[in-house]
Chain A
Amino acid sequence: MSLAASHSPAAESHAARAFAVALSIVIGFSAISIQLVRLALQGQFAEPRVAMTQTLTTAVWRPDIVDRNGRLLATDIEAPTLYADPAMIIDVDEVVERLVEVFPEFNTAELRRSLSDRNRRYVRLKRGISPATAQRIHNFGLPGIAFRNEPKRVYPNGALAGHVLGHVNIDNQGTSGLERYIDEVVGIEAFQAGTPGSLKPVRTSLDIAVQHALEHELRTAVRTYSAKGAAGIILDANTGEVLAASSLPQVDPADRMQGLDPDRLDKLADGVYELGSIFKTITIAMAIEAGTADLDKVYDVRVPLRVGRYIIRDLYPLGRPLTVRDIFVHSSNVGAGMLALELGSERQRAYLDRFGLTKAIRTEAGPLAAPKLPRHWGKAETITISYGHGMALAPMQFAATAAALVNGGLWVAPTVIQPSSPDTAKGARIVSAETSAAIRELMRLNVDSPHGTGRRAAVPGYEVGGKTGTAELPGRGGYREKAVIASFLAAFPMSDPKYVVLVMLHEPKPTEETNGRITAGVNAAPVAGSIIARTAPLLGVMPQRHADARAHQ
Chain B
Amino acid sequence: MLRLSSAIAAAVAVASAFLLYAVSYETRHMISTVQSQERQIERLRSDIAVLKAELAFLSRPERIEPVARSYGFVPASGIQYTDLHSVEPGPGAVDPGSRTEPGQRSSR
**Interface residue ranges, A against B (CB under 8 Å):** 18, 22, 25-26, 29, 33, 36-37, 40, 45, 71-72, 75-78, 149, 154, 156-158, 160, 194-196, 208-209, 212-213, 216, 459-462, 533-534, 536-538, 542-543, 545-546, 549
Docked complex Cα distance between A68 and B75 (Å): 20
B1-39 contacts to A (CB < 8 Å): 2, 6, 9, 13, 16-17, 20, 23-24, 27-28, 31, 39
Query: Is B53 in the interface zone, CB < 8 Å from A?
Result: yes
By the criterion CB–CB under 8 Å, are B62 and A545 in contact?
no
Residues on B with beta carbons closer than 8 Å to the beta carbon of A549: 86
By the criterion CB–CB under 8 Å, are B16 and A196 in contact?
no
Query: Which secondary structure dominates where chain B touches chain A?
Result: helix
Contacts A194-B39, A194-B42: A78 and B49 contacting too (C-beta < 8 A)? Answer: yes
Query: Is B67 in the interface zone, CB < 8 Å from A?
Result: no
Contact of B28 among A45, A156, A462, A542 (CB under 8 A): A45
By the criterion CB–CB under 8 Å, are B46 and A33 in contact?
no
Residues on B with beta carbons closer than 8 Å to the beta carbon of A546: 83, 86
Residues on B with beta carbons closer than 8 Å to the beta carbon of A158: 60, 62
B36-93 contacts to A (CB < 8 Å): 39, 42, 45-46, 49-50, 52-57, 59-62, 65, 75-83, 86
Docked complex Cα distance between A543 and B49 (Å): 40
Contact of B2 among A22, A29, A75 (CB under 8 A): A22
By the criterion CB–CB under 8 Å, are A537 and B49 in contact?
no
By the criterion CB–CB under 8 Å, are B56 and A75 in contact?
yes
By the criterion CB–CB under 8 Å, are B28 and A72 in contact?
no
Contacts A45-B27, A75-B56, A545-B86: A37 and B20 contacting too (C-beta < 8 A)? Answer: yes
Docked complex Cα distance between A461 and B81 (Å): 10
A19, closest chain B residue (CB): B2
Contact of B46 among A40, A196, A461, A538 (CB under 8 A): A196
Residues on B with beta carbons closer than 8 Å to the beta carbon of A216: 65
By the criterion CB–CB under 8 Å, are A156 and B27 in contact?
no
By the criterion CB–CB under 8 Å, are B53 and A156 in contact?
yes
Docked complex Cα distance between A103 and B24 (Å): 49
Show 12 residue pairs from A and B whose CB-CB distance is below 8 angstroms, ordered by the A residue: A25-B6, A36-B20, A40-B24, A78-B49, A156-B53, A156-B54, A157-B57, A196-B42, A460-B79, A537-B77, A543-B81, A546-B83
Contact of A545 among B23, B54, B81 (CB under 8 A): B81
By the criterion CB–CB under 8 Å, are A537 and B80 in contact?
yes
Contact of A78 among B6, B46, B75, B81 (CB under 8 A): B46
* Nearest chain A CB to B4 CB, angstrom units: 13
Contact of A149 among B46, B52, B53, B56 (CB under 8 A): B46
By the criterion CB–CB under 8 Å, are B65 and A537 in contact?
no
* Nearest chain B CB to A276 CB, angstrom units: 29
By the criterion CB–CB under 8 Å, are B20 and A156 in contact?
no
A-B interface, 10 closest residue pairs, ranked by CB to CB distance from nearest: A156-B56, A212-B61, A543-B78, A72-B56, A156-B57, A537-B76, A461-B78, A196-B45, A194-B42, A157-B60
| Interface core residue of A37, A194, A538 (most chain B CB under 10 Å) | A194
* Nearest chain B CB to A151 CB, angstrom units: 9
* Nearest chain B CB to A304 CB, angstrom units: 43
**Interface residue ranges, B against A (CB under 8 Å):** 2, 6, 9, 13, 16-17, 20, 23-24, 27-28, 31, 39, 42, 45-46, 49-50, 52-57, 59-62, 65, 75-83, 86
By the criterion CB–CB under 8 Å, are A29 and B86 in contact?
no
Docked complex Cα distance between A22 and B6 (Å): 9
Docked complex Cα distance between A216 and B54 (Å): 22
Docked complex Cα distance between A448 and B52 (Å): 46
By the criterion CB–CB under 8 Å, are A156 and B42 in contact?
no
Docked complex Cα distance between A534 and B61 (Å): 14
* Nearest chain B CB to A499 CB, angstrom units: 14
Residues on A with beta carbons closer than 8 Å to the beta carbon of B83: 545-546
* Nearest chain B CB to A207 CB, angstrom units: 11
By the criterion CB–CB under 8 Å, are B62 and A533 in contact?
no
By the criterion CB–CB under 8 Å, are A545 and B82 in contact?
yes
* Nearest chain B CB to A27 CB, angstrom units: 12
A537, closest chain B residue (CB): B76
Residues on B with beta carbons closer than 8 Å to the beta carbon of A194: 39, 42, 46
Residues on B with beta carbons closer than 8 Å to the beta carbon of A157: 56-57, 60-62
* Nearest chain A CB to B62 CB, angstrom units: 6
Residues on B with beta carbons closer than 8 Å to the beta carbon of A545: 78, 81-83, 86
Docked complex Cα distance between A186 and B11 (Å): 63
* Nearest chain A CB to B31 CB, angstrom units: 6
By the criterion CB–CB under 8 Å, are B42 and A195 in contact?
yes
Residues on A with beta carbons closer than 8 Å to the beta carbon of B16: 33, 36
| Interface core residue of A76, A157, A209, A460 (most chain B CB under 10 Å) | A157
Docked complex Cα distance between A105 and B99 (Å): 73
By the criterion CB–CB under 8 Å, are B9 and A75 in contact?
no
B74, closest chain A residue (CB): A534
By the criterion CB–CB under 8 Å, are B76 and A40 in contact?
no
Contact of A40 among B20, B31, B59, B60 (CB under 8 A): B20
Residues on B with beta carbons closer than 8 Å to the beta carbon of A37: 20
